[in-house]
Amino acid sequence: MRIKVDTMDNLNALMIYESTDEQILGEIRRRLARMRRSCCLSQQELSLRSGVSIATIKRIEGQAPQDISMSILIKLLRSMTQLEGVGTLVPSLPDSPYAIKADGTKMTRISSRLRKV
């Protein structure tokens, strides 16, 4: 029996992969709306602070699934002083061993012909 989970707060790292893209995007939209309200900002105030149109903010916070461009997401988070979480969204990783040439310099492209596993 599978339990339906409504928010990602209750999901662990493994269960998040069972969520659809729409479910994850819906949770991001809900969190943005909660974040705006916790900053005591109206949609109009957030629009003025961020430079994002109020129509776009309403669309993001609406019920219908909407894609959010990265640039708009960054503008909204910046205007609410909440950029700290961006680093965990796309973490910095060490260079792949395949990306380093024998002389120690970095490759600009990795050819599948060069990789021998």
pLDDT value of position 1: 36
Q: How confident is the model at residue 64 (pLDDT cuts 50, 70, 90)?
A: confident
pLDDT tens digits for range 6-17: 444 545 566 788
Instruction: Answer whether 0.85 is exceeded by the pTM.
Output: no
- DSSP of the chain: -PPP--SGGG--TTGGGGS-HHHHHHHHHHHHHHHHHHTT--HHHHHHHH---HHHHHHHHSSS-----HHHHHHHHHHTT-GGGHHHHS---PPPGGGB-TTSPBPSS--TTT---
The class that CATH gives domain 8-89 is mainly alpha
